[in-house]
C-alpha cells in the first residue's frame, strides 16, 4: 500500500499496480485516523474480515468500505468510485506496518522521505 497525506486528505493506492491509470482513493484525515485505529486494533485482520463482511459484501468503516473475497481485499471510498485491491499478502503487510511499526499515521505520512 502506498499512502500520502496532503494536509486534508489521505490518498491510497496499491504501489504494486503499475498500470498508468491505477486507481487512487481519498479519505478525509479524521476518517483515516478512525480507519487506522480499527486496523491497529486488529478489527480488520484477514481472519476477521471474512466473518464481518462475507464475500461480496462491503464492511463500512470510517470513510471507507472494505471487502474480502478470500483472494483479495478491496477498499473504496464510502461515496463510491474506484476500488483499490490488495492481495492477501499485501493486506497482511499493511496490517503489520500499521499495527507493529507505527506506519500510516498522519505523522508518518507527513514525514520527509528518507533514502
Over residues 82-110, the pLDDT tens digits come to 999 999 999 999 999 999 998 999 888 88
Check residue 34 and give its pLDDT: 93
Give a yes or no: residue 71 inside a domain.
yes
Give a yes or no: residue 70 inside a domain.
yes
Are 24 and 13 in contact by the 8 Å Cβ rule? The answer is: yes
Are 111 and 105 in contact by the 8 Å Cβ rule? The answer is: no
3-state secondary structure of 26: strand
Check residue 83 and give its pLDDT: 93
Give a yes or no: residue 26 inside a domain.
yes
Domain carrying residue 23: 2-110
Render pLDDT for 19-71 as a digit per residue (tens, 0 to 9).
888 999 999 999 999 999 999 999 999 888 877 777 778 888 878 999 998 89
Q: Residue 95 and residue 89: Cα distance in Å, rounded?
A: 10
Q: Residue 112 and residue 110: Cα distance in Å, rounded?
A: 6
Comparison of pLDDT for 79 and 39, the residue scoring more: 39
Give a yes or no: residue 115 inside a domain.
no
Give a yes or no: residue 12 inside a domain.
yes
User: Of 71, 72, 67, which Cα lies nearest the Cα of 56?
Assistant: 67
Q: Residue 68 and residue 113: Cα distance in Å, rounded?
A: 31
Give a yes or no: residue 17 inside a domain.
yes
Check residue 115 and give its pLDDT: 55
User: Of 92, 87, 115, which Cα lies nearest the Cα of 45?
Assistant: 92
How confident is residue 114, by pLDDT bands cut at 50, 70 and 90?
A: low
Domain count, the chain: 1
Give a yes or no: residue 103 inside a domain.
yes
Amino acid at each position: 500500500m502506498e499512502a500520502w497525506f496532503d494536509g486534508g486528505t489521505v490518498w491510497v493506492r496499491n504501489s504494486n499496480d503499475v498500470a498508468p491509470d491505477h486507481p487512487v482513493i481519498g479519505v478525509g484525515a479524521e476518517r483515516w485516523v478512525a480507519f487506522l485505529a480499527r486496523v491497529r486494533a486488529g478489527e480488520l485482520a484477514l481472519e476477521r474480515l471474512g466473518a464481518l463482511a462475507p464475500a461480496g459484501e462491503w464492511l463500512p468503516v470510517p470513510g471507507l468500505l472494505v471487502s474480502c473475497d478470500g483472494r483479495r481485499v478491496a477498499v473504496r471510498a464510502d461515496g463510491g468510485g474506484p476500488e483499490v485491491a490488495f492481495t492477501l499478502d499485501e493486506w497482511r503487510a499493511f496490517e503489520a506496518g500499521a499495527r507493529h511499526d507505527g506506519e500510516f499515521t498522519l505523522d508518518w505520512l507527513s514525514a520527509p522521505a528518507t533514502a
